[in-house]
Amino acid sequence: MNQLNQVNKIICVASGKGGVGKSTTAINLAVGLGLEGHKVGLLDADIYGPSLPVMMGISAGTRPEIRDKKFMVPLTAHGIECNSMGLLVDSNTAMVWRAPMIISAFNQILMDTLWSPLDYLIIDMPPGTGDIQLSLAQNIAVNGALIVTTPQDIALADVRRGVEMFKKVGIPIIGVVENMSVHVCSECGHEEAVFGTGGADKLASDYGIDVIERLPLDVQIREQTDSGLPVVISDSGNGVGASYISLAKSLNKIVHSDAFCEDSVPEIVIKDN
């Protein structure tokens, strides 16, 4: 049985560039959806640099149970079912693999994980537009992609390539998340747009999509991420974590809207080139 048949919505969190806080966004989104009452799984698709075990507070050396010498039982952390290459190898192991091995490893942790019936499977994609992204599009029906960017031009240039890739493979864009949008000084409360303003709005306007959330640049996010306790849990009220709860609510509303479901049916076009 294909375990993914038990997943209602498969959402990938992606960016064209590393260092924009994509994994932090994916993890807090997954936990936020869980706090909203949804059954959620989280797959770390970054084979070269898996970060899920640390960010979700899973103890080093913890391994998933293996059944029938093939299938992996996902670990549960903060109420979320999790799997990652980081749970299968030593944290100091360098994955010096060529593309075919990377694709094989990704397909295994995707297809051979014994996910429970889930409302959402959130896939934290590696940066870029390479083999993992193409393998995902070819092998499973992804319901949508959430694009994470920071406001500055250098990030937006790479993110545009990511948006173009999803358009080409027929995966609908749920919206844009502008991360590190504004920094609020913890001492005086002064707000400053460290990485500029308006970038995500321009990207969204160019592609006819929406900026569905602006996430702050805040030291709590880094501290909680390093400690393995996502900030959406420790500060889910009116503080920083509330932004991730808002993101979870917005995503849930969008992917269940009639307009999004109608637009999500891909049109396959075959060309000679």
How confident is the model over 163-214, as pLDDT tens digits? Answer: 888 888 889 999 999 998 877 766 776 677 766 677 788 888 888 899 999 9
Confidence of residue 269 (pLDDT cuts 50, 70, 90): low
| 270 part of a folded domain | no
Number of other residues whose CB lies within 10 A of the CB of residue 91: 11
pLDDT of residue 78: 96
Instruction: Determine contact, residues 134/171, Cβ cutoff 8 Å.
Output: no
| 154 part of a folded domain | yes
Contacts of range 208-211, beta carbons closer than 8 Å, 24 or more positions apart:
209/147, 209/173, 209/175, 209/176, 210/175, 210/176, 211/175, 211/176, 211/177, 211/178
| 266 part of a folded domain | no
| 220 part of a folded domain | yes
| 167 part of a folded domain | yes
Amino acid at 271: K
- Write the CB contacts of 22 (distance below 8 Å, at least 6 apart in sequence): 13, 14, 15, 124, 125, 127, 148, 179
Confidence of residue 268 (pLDDT cuts 50, 70, 90): very low
Full residue range of the structural domain in which residue 251 is found: 3-261
Helix (H, G, I), strand (E, B) or coil at 212: strand
CATH at 10: 3.40.50.300
pLDDT of residue 41: 98
| 273 part of a folded domain | no
More confident residue, 42 or 234: 42
Is the pLDDT confidence value at 123 over 70? yes
111-115, 116-120, 218-222: which range is least confident on average? 218-222
DSSP 8-state class, residue 129 = S
| 272 part of a folded domain | no
| 28 part of a folded domain | yes
Is the pLDDT confidence value at 264 over 60? no
pLDDT of residue 239: 75
| Distance, CA of 196 to CA of 156 (rounded, Å) | 12
DSSP state letters, 38-77:
--EEEEE--SSS--HHHHTTPPTT---EEETTTEEEPEEE
Task: State how many domains the chain has.
Answer: 1
